[in-house]
Chain A
Amino acid sequence: MRSGGSTEEENGQHGGAYPQVSGPGAHRSAGHRTGSHASAAFYWAIGGVLTVITAVEVAIFYIPVLEPVLVPSLLLLSAGKFLLVVMFFMHLRFDSRIFSGVFLAGMVLAMFMSVALVVLYHVLPAYDFMG
């Protein structure tokens, strides 16, 4: 019986019912990898860490003596927030590698493109030794 308003199959793990699901990864890919199963408290903790990191970022912005390390430290801290949200809130840490794969395919190219354009516009012109 298809449920009324629901347009699609229910949650993820039907293939696991069929032994013919192929491949050694089948066990793992049929849902969660081994790892701590998050509780609400865990999510609150991550939320707390995200808040703290944001506060630190703002502090670095305002503390003049930290200006030389502003860019690298902000990049690192925001990368940390990014990873926390993606790995834990979006559950990528515990889910099948396939999800990470399709996400990273886009993410890696996105980062490459951004770095390339910044280098082409803001770094290379300083080295125009033929100029």
Chain B
Amino acid sequence: MSEATTAAKANSSVHEDAVGLWSWITTVDHKRIGIMYFLTSFFFLFVGGFEALLIRIQLMRPENAFISAETYNQMFTMHGTTMVFLVAMPMAVAFFNYLVPLQIGARDVAFPRLNALSYWIFLFGGLYLNSSFLFGAAPNTSWVGYANLTSLQFTPGRNVEFWIIGLSILGVSSILGGVNFITTIINLRAPGMKLMRMPLFSWMTLVTSFLLITALPVIAVALIILGFDRFFGANFFEVTAGGDPILWQHLFWLFGHPEVYILILPAFGIISDVIPTFSKKPLFGYPVVVYAGILIGFIGWGVWSHHMFTVGLGPIADSFFVASTMIIAIPTGIKIFNWLATMWGGALRFPTPMLFAVGLVAVFTVGGLSGVMHASAPVDLQQHDSYFVVAHFHYVLVGGALMGLFSGVYFWFPKVTGRMMNETIGKWHFWTTLIGFNLTFFPMHFSGLFGMPRRTWTYLAELNLETWNQLSTVGAFIFGAASLLLMWNLFYSWRKGEKASANPWGAATLEWSLPSPPRHYNFPALPTVRSREPLWDDTERQEVEAVTHAEPAEEPHMPSPSFWPVVLAFGVALTWILLMTHTWWMPLLGLALVAVAVFGWAFQPAYR
């Protein structure tokens, strides 16, 4: 927390927000909330990474017994759950939080206290989920939790309870956040900031937010009915009573497929702002990139059963999903071409943010190719549940989402902290990441096709999979070391980095017209925007900076801090957690706290 306090002190203006732990606990400032999201998700990156290394050590040799089979199940379950829900999603939300108001010309999001609530719910949910380790009962039925493995009959014990409750808590955070950002983007754009003038990152935030509010309720219900089965004896997945475990798969993937677009679209948005900056050229085909993003979001709702080709849905259902999955490759491919066309003929520079952005374009394409291979149902019959799939999704999630997020870190770090990140360490970070990542996951295409199944603790020597696994393990350690470089770079640069100007990269969008870091009220007055690249047109830049560099005539009226969000977050988490008492009335105590917090919040003015 001292990191955060010092960052607050770096913000120097006369009417400053308070420093100290309490000011962070009660903050409703989107910039602080963004920083908290980033630090928390960055911490969980190393938790998930550690889990991955344990997996990789176990798989280094056939018939290894480095960890037990039960521990192994917990490792791959928590690795996946952590990386998806506690790293990739919240790290993207960190960027939404910090940047969207600055990019659209607003002083904060539409509902600042709701924003804080989303963060605290996330933190409590993540801590709760990981507290399962203290009880030796970490979730162990994989991040997809298929029924009826998750039933009381087949997995008694607390592991699945931790999973159900943890994810339910986290889901609330995401839905509220989605509502907040949709409202912010629709309603709080500065004068002249038409939707088709918004930076691409804000556009992708809008699409992702719609995906969040529509997909998360589906998994919420899936978790609820699974919870009813386990806690209250319902029959949703009880075959003997007429229940169908396949329904779980439908509901999970109806959420799960839009979820992967939730994971990737923010990264696409980031590099759509980064690549034009370092090509000194506007994004090629801006409207097409926007519409492609919307199409991906929409079509992404129609492909879910491509995760179920081996279930036996029948040829008609399978054919539909083959077609829809192949179709969704088109808007994705279009974006790739637009990024390349942006770079073509541009004045290219390759500082670290651009390295990661271009890296995404290359690596994600590889992942996209294996994805299109999966789209063919007959081909998928071999690939399903093999390491080929593990290769595919790591290429798109690590090579895609994570590298995009890293690009964003290097790109916007100067804006957030007022200091530049170290370029030398950055380049080392990039190249070791690229090498380590490819060494880890490329061999998995082969081990998968040669028969190595997912989620199994070990393999026999006669399968000849050892070499591929060893390559992956070595690569994983290189990748881990690379991530430590990032941690070092962040810390070192924050303390000793070269001071950054308002616009060190010569970028085009509104956030770069503000000082680094911005004052707590962002804009002294709202600028008027006339184009997509306001800072690339001299006249417009001067007009904008006349507004954004001015001192406000009087202190802007900002929303007041509040402790109700953290109290309500605690109440929400408590309500779910009390289900672990296996009584119907204990959760009501949690609801009572929720009610108190809701009333306290509702009757507290936002501005005091």
Contact = CB atoms under 8 A, between A and B. Distances in A.
A120 B605 contact: no
B192 A20 contact: yes
Residue from the set B194, B210, B316 with the largest chain A CB neighbour count within 10 Å: B316
Contacts of A3: 605
B439 to A, nearest CB: 40
Nearest to A109: B214
A64 B302 CA distance: 39
B604 A7 contact: yes
Interface stretch (A30-38, A48-56, A70-78, A122-130): A122-130
A4 interface: yes
Given A5-B603, A124-B316, A109 B301 contact: yes
Interface in B506-543: 528
Given A7-B603, A130-B314, A2 B192 contact: no
A3 B604 CA distance: 11
B461 interface: no
A120 B312 CA distance: 11
Interface in A1-36: 2-8, 18, 20-23
B428 to A, nearest CB: 44
A65 interface: no
Interface in A53-105: 98, 102, 105
B194 A98 contact: no
B301 A7 contact: no
B369 interface: no
A25 B274 CA distance: 32
B250 interface: yes
Interface in B226-271: 250, 254
Interface string A110-130: 001100010010001101111
A113 B218 contact: yes
Contact of A20 (B191, B250, B302): B191
A98 B206 CA distance: 14
A105 B254 CA distance: 16
B601 to A, nearest CB: 8
A124 B318 CA distance: 11
Nearest to B197: A22
B108 to A, nearest CB: 14
Contacts of B193: 22
Contacts of B214: 105-106, 109
Contacts of A125: 314
B323 interface: no
B345 interface: no
Given A120-B313, A120-B317, A127-B316, A2 B607 contact: yes
Contacts of A8: 606
B313 A6 contact: no
Contacts, number: 57
A115 to B, nearest CB: 12
Contact of B250 (A2, A18, A106, A120): A120
Interface in B43-100: none
B186 A98 contact: yes
B546 to A, nearest CB: 16
Q: Give the bracket for the number of chain A residues in contact with chain B.
A: 20 to 34
Given A105-B210, A113-B218, A124-B316, A22 B605 contact: no
Contacts of B14: none
B567 interface: no
Contacts of B603: 5, 7
B15 interface: no
A112 B301 contact: yes
A16 to B, nearest CB: 13
Contacts of A20: 191-192, 528
Contacts of B602: 7
A5 B313 CA distance: 56
B606 A7 contact: yes
Contacts of A131: 314
Contacts of B210: 105
Contact of A23 (B194, B254, B317): B194
Contacts of B186: 98, 102
B397 interface: no
A120 B321 CA distance: 12
Contacts of B601: 7
A113 B194 contact: no
A102 B254 CA distance: 20
Given A2-B608, A7-B603, A113-B218, A22 B191 contact: yes
Contacts of B604: 7
B171 to A, nearest CB: 16
A23 B305 CA distance: 41
B315 A130 contact: yes
A124 B191 contact: no
A22 B192 contact: yes
A6 B193 CA distance: 30
Interface string B291-309: 0000000000110010000
Contacts of B313: 120, 124
B182 interface: yes
Contacts of B4: none
A106 B182 CA distance: 13
Please name the 4 residue pairs, one residue from A and one from B, whose CB atoms are nearest each other, closest first. A20-B191, A2-B605, A128-B314, A109-B214
27 contacts: A2-B605, A2-B607, A4-B605, A5-B603, A6-B605, A7-B604, A8-B606, A20-B191, A20-B192, A22-B191, A22-B192, A102-B186, A105-B214, A106-B213, A109-B214, A109-B301, A112-B302, A113-B254, A117-B250, A120-B317, A124-B314, A124-B316, A124-B317, A125-B314, A127-B314, A128-B314, A131-B314
